[in-house]
């Protein structure tokens, strides 16, 4: 499977998109992240097996989880999550579809049987009832454990500190509401908190860094224009690599954004607001992208004496810093569910996670050349 063209493409898709323009070491790829996630899956399964926690799960169940860990990013777009932010289909859905045909489908069938592709696809998309699916798509999935540690290392920042050994050692398979699923021993909650804070720190300082978000906004505008002009088809985006895509976009670029990205001439901040300064009625298209956002950007650009495309609005969005739907195995043998509603009287990770998301977010207006943008003009541009 690693030797298939689909998997080898991941060597040329950077894990952090344009973050290397801020952190020069951030040139690592989805390929090595996929191998790292696979490695963690092997470690986690070995721990569960040694503890006798796998129960009725057989070797094929474990195989499907390892394969899903290896292939969880097989459908990933170039330049990280920018294109999903722009409204294109999720990389999980693309990945689940892509493994059903071609050499990868044949390799999957040879390894796990005729239905392996469907089973792995369901795990990747979070639609599987597999008892071990939470290792790949869940509150403490191995994907985020690997990328947080790896991204922090490659960026040279001290923010991705996670007690990986403790988390893996505290994994357990429990029965709750009539089905078996991956949970965490109560003594592992401190390690879960380390995961939460590492994710918050990485979003605040790396993933949502203002210069990285400027490049992200420029790239989304560039791709949006190319798709509208039919210069590139959406289906081609899912199989492209970083360099191939940016070269193709540069050859068809009408406003110079592609060249500016290549030469790191990023748009500068003209306005930055905290979420609380925006008011309550913030339209969802502000982070969903698409035509409404483009029209708002161009309307605001006109107010500020800029040409269309010379002003970009960015408001990163994440529904939760740490999605919680996690069984906790108590020391006395009871199993309780830690959910988004919290765990009354014990800990309030959900509220904490929501507060961290909001404190990390910033609405920013980026401009190609000096201009004055005030909050009232922005609100007018965002009004229905």
Other beta carbons within 10 angstroms of residue 193's beta carbon come to 15
* Residue 144 reports pLDDT greater than 60: yes
- CA dist 33 and 145 (Å) reads 10
- Range of lowest pLDDT (82-86, 114-118, 358-362): 358-362
Lowest mean pLDDT among 43-52, 228-237, 295-304, 319-328: 319-328
pLDDT at 289: 85
In this prediction, what percent of the chain has a pLDDT beyond 70?
A: 94
The answer to whether residue 129 scores a pLDDT higher than 80 is: yes
Residue 29 pLDDT > 70, yes or no?
Answer: yes
CB-based contacts of 136, cutoff 8 Å, min separation 6: 37, 41, 65, 68, 69, 72, 123, 124, 142, 143
Q: Rounded CA gap, 196 and 354, in Å?
A: 11
Q: Give me the residue spans of the domains in the chain.
A: 5-208, 217-317+361-382
Write out 359-375 in H/E/C secondary structure: HHCCEEEEECCCCCCCH
Q: Each residue of 4-22: pLDDT tens digit?
A: 999 999 999 999 999 999 9
Please, which residues have CB within 8 angstroms of residue 331's CB and are 6 or more apart in sequence? 186, 187
Chain centroid offset of residue 113 CA = 30
pLDDT digit string, tens, across residues 283-336 = 889 988 889 999 999 999 999 999 999 999 999 987 666 666 788 899 888 888
* pLDDT score recorded for residue 347: 59
User: For residue 342, what pLDDT is reported?
Assistant: 55
pLDDT of res. 345: 46
Lowest-pLDDT range of 63-67, 168-172, 357-361: 357-361
> Quick one: average pLDDT of 132-156?
92
What percent of the chain clears pLDDT 90, i.e. is strictly above it? 68
Q: What is the mean pLDDT of residues 161-188?
A: 91
Domain at 5-208, CATH class:
mainly alpha
Q: What is the pLDDT of residue 326?
A: 84
- One DSSP character per residue, 216-279 reads HHHHHHHHHHHHHTTSS-HHHHTT--HHHHHHHHHHT-SSSHHHHHHTT-PPEEEEEE-GGGS-
- Cβ-based burial of 58 (10 A; exposed 0-12, middle 13-18, buried ≥19): exposed
Q: Could you give the CA distance from residue 24 to residue 352 in angstroms, rounded to a whole number?
A: 32
Helix (H) or strand (E) holding 67: helix 59-71
**pLDDT confidence bin for 57, thresholds 50/70/90:** low
Which of 51-55, 112-116, 179-183, 201-205 is predicted with the least confidence, judged by mean pLDDT? Answer: 51-55
For 177, phi then psi, to 5°, come to: 55, 40
Residue located via tokens 């699923």: 181
Task: Report pTM.
Answer: 0.93
Report whether pLDDT(79) > 90: yes
Instruction: Tell me what the pLDDT averaged over the chain comes to.
Output: 90
pLDDT, residue 54, reads 81
């Amino acid at each position: 499977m690693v030797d298939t063209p689909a998997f080898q493409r991941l060597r040329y898709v950077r894990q952090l998109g344009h973050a290397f323009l801020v952190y020069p070491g951030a040139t690592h790829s989805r390929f090595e992240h996929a191998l790292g996630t696979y490695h963690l899956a092997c470690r986690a399964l070995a721990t569960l097996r040694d503890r006798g926690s796998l129960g009725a799960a057989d070797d094929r169940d474990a195989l499907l989880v390892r394969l899903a860990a290896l292939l969880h990013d097989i459908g990933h777009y170039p330049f990280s999550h920018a294109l999903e932010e722009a409204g294109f289909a999720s990389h999980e859905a693309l990945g689940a579809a892509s493994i059903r045909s071609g050499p990868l489908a044949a390799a999957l069938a040879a390894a796990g049987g005729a239905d392996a592709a469907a089973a792995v696809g369901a795990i990747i998309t979070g639609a599987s009832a597999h008892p071990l699916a939470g290792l790949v798509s869940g509150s403490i999935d191995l994907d985020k454990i690997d990328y947080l540690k790896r991204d922090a290392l490659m960026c040279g920042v001290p923010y991705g500190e996670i007690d990986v050994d403790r988390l893996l050692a505290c994994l357990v398979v429990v029965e709750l509401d009539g089905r078996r699923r991956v949970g965490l021993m109560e003594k592992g909650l401190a390690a879960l908190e380390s995961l939460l804070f590492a994710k918050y720190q990485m979003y605040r300082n790396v993933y949502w860094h203002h210069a990285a978000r400027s490049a992200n906004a420029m790239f989304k505008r560039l791709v949006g224009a190319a798709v509208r002009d039919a210069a590139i088809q959406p289906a081609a985006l899912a199989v492209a690599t970083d360099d191939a895509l940016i070269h193709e976009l540069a050859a068809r670029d009408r406003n110079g954004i592609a060249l500016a990205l290549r030469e790191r001439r990023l748009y500068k901040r003209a306005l930055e607001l905290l979420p609380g300064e925006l008011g309550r009625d913030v339209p969802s298209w502000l982070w969903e992208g698409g035509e409404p956002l483009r029209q708002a950007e161009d309307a605001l650009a006109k107010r500020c004496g800029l040409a269309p495309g010379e002003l970009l609005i960015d408001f990163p969005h994440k529904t939760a810093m740490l999605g919680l739907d996690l069984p906790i195995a108590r020391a006395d043998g009871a199993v309780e569910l830690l959910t988004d509603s919290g765990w009354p009287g014990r800990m309030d990770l959900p509220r904490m996670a929501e507060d961290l998301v909001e404190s990390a977010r910033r609405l920013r207006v980026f401009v190609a050349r000096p201009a004055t943008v005030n909050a009232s003009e922005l609100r007018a541009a965002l009004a229905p």
